[in-house]
């Protein structure tokens, strides 16, 4: 993977992680307590 592509991917990963954290906080507030985490390459 080229360095430019790697940086783009890393940026998207950070964005996706932030969105996941926000979604988990919202779900937690709604009373949900179990989550499935998927890591893919």
Residue spans of the domains in the chain: they are: 1-41
pLDDT at 1: 57
d(CA 28, CA 32): 5
Q: What is the reported pLDDT for 9?
A: 73
- For the chain, where are the alpha helices, taking DSSP H only? 3-29
Q: Cα angle at 16 between 11 and 20, to 5 degrees?
A: 150
CA distance 40 to 29: 27
Classify residue 6 as exposed, middle or buried by CB count within 10 Å of its CB (0-12, 13-18, 19+): exposed
User: pLDDT digit of tens for each residue in the chain (41 aa)?
Assistant: 577 777 777 778 888 888 888 888 898 889 888 777 777 77
pTM metric for this prediction: 0.54
């Amino acid at each position: 993977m080229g360095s430019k592509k790697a940086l783009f991917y890393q940026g998207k990963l950070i964005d996706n992680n932030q969105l996941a954290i926000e979604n988990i906080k919202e779900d937690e507030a709604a009373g949900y307590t179990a989550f499935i985490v998927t890591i893919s390459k």
